[in-house]
Amino acid sequence: MVKNVTTPKNISQTGSWQKAVAAYQTPQTWRSWWQVINTFVPFFILMVLMVLSLEVSYWLTLLLAVPAAGFFTRIFIIFHDCGHGSFFKSKRANDTLGYITGILTMTPYHRWRHDHAMHHASVGDLDRRGVGDIMTLTVKEYQGKSTWGRLVYRVTRHPLALFTVGPLGLFLINNRFSTRTSGKRERHSVYWTNLALLIVVLLMSVTIGLKAFVLVMLPILVIGTTAGVWLFYVQHQFEGVYWERHERWDYLYAALKGSSYYKLPRILQWFTGNIGFHHIHHVSPRIPNYYLERCHRENPMFQEVRTLTLLSSLKCMFLSLWDEDERELVSFGDLRKA
């Protein structure tokens, strides 16, 4: 296993990281609007082409679903930035676009925003797991469960569940409900999003037909949600990742060692809105996605982090438990070897 990478020396002591990220935290309105245009316009054009392609061949529809899913992922990144208040200078503009993109991605804006803020405040903290993240048990917690409990955990952590059924269930089902601890604003965002989605489905039913709508949207959702969950997973579940008990947890360490730099091919980096620079995003969620790469490139202090590629990231999918003794993520197979 790869041990935790070294955090750049003296960053937290000198406060130099706050000064470094400050230069990138102000969004540029024209850049944000250009990103909206170059994302929304091709997405809806592809949707129209997919509907028309149903009269030709469903294989063509599925082929068009691949780039459409890429733009769906990019829309979610815009939604994500709005949730952090980093896409526009105006809070109202962020919230308005956040609701619109939330409907398009079937995600209630304020509920997701709350849970994601919890994720940022607790990533890598063993004592604050479970909100806005992929639940990870320690080896001792797993071994202390009943046979049924261990089976359920193994099934939910299996790649087939995590990256096929899980993403669809999250976006189509889980996002339709609020939780007992949800505040009024979070509950209302769920209700309004559900109502908007119902109106969209009804409109599509009386225009192109419900069957056509499902045939077009389903492959986009399957590919797009799987890609989104994979991105989120691999950015926090990798060899050398940082986990610590709350009394020893450190925000900067959690950002730089608990988040990966996912070095993707340029086309995938574009479709995923630079979210591969996830360590920068966790250092400062106020940085718009279009400035993340520049911040990484211009500040050597942020370059000494764990780098993943498409190939090396594939090994991460079987890491399922945190071994507190060895201070590393392990697979279920590693338990059998111990």
For the chain, the first-to-last Cα distance in angstroms comes to: 14
Determine the Cα angle at 283 with ends 234 and 175, to 5°: 55
pLDDT attached to residue 181: 80
Residue ranges of domains in the chain: 18-337
d(CA 114, CA 111): 5
pLDDT attached to residue 14: 46
Burial 146-158 (b: 16+ CB within 10 A, else e): eeeeeeebeeebb
**119-159: per-residue pLDDT in tens?**
999 999 999 987 778 889 999 999 999 999 999 999 999 99
pLDDT attached to residue 279: 94
**57-101: per-residue pLDDT in tens?**
999 999 999 999 999 999 999 999 999 999 999 999 999 999 999
**Contact yes or no for 157/320 (Cβ under 8 A):** yes
Of the candidates 217, 287, 327, the one whose C-alpha atom is nearest the C-alpha of residue 28 is: 287
Do strands 321-323 and 137-138 pair parallel, antiparallel, or not at all (unpaired)?
parallel
pLDDT attached to residue 4: 42
pLDDT attached to residue 100: 97
Of the candidates 209, 222, 238, the one whose C-alpha atom is nearest the C-alpha of residue 170 is: 222
Q: CA 127, 167, 226, 220 torsion: positive or negative?
A: negative
pLDDT attached to residue 15: 62
Q: Which residues of the chain have a pLDDT value below 70? A: 1-15, 338
pLDDT attached to residue 158: 92
pLDDT attached to residue 338: 60
d(CA 296, CA 281): 10
